[in-house]
Amino acid sequence: MKKKTPKGENMVECIWCGKEANEGVKNCYWITPDGKKTVEILSIPAIICPHCEPYVSDEITQKIEEALYLNDIAALGLKFSL
């Protein structure tokens, strides 16, 4: 369920602790499906919970894995580096 903070940011419910968290971004290292390369993907949409470590939702994880599998990470519209 989405709510807005007074500043207009999206509020989300943390799937770990169930408390209110913010949407933000996070840089992550991802191993390609062939296991040969590590890519750094920048500015992945992430959940920033004040009680937990920032993390990437399953939905986004799945999208990134699909894009890596198809070797089409640019389709995600994310910045990345090899």
Tell me, letter by letter, the H, E, C secondary structure of 19-70: CEEEEEEEEEEEECCCCCCEEEEEEEEEEECCCCCCECCHHHHHHHHHHHHC
Whose Cβ is closer to Zn ion: residue 28's or residue 68's?
28
Task: Please select the residue that binds Zn ion; options are 49, 56, 64, 68, rule is CB under 5 A.
Answer: 49
* Part in contact with Zn ion (CB under 5 A); list of ranges 4-12, 17-25, 32-40, 67-75: 17-25
Q: Which of 5, 10, 11, 17 binds Zn ion (CB under 5 A)?
A: 17
Instruction: List contacts with Zn ion (CB under 5 A).
Output: 14, 16-17, 49, 51-52
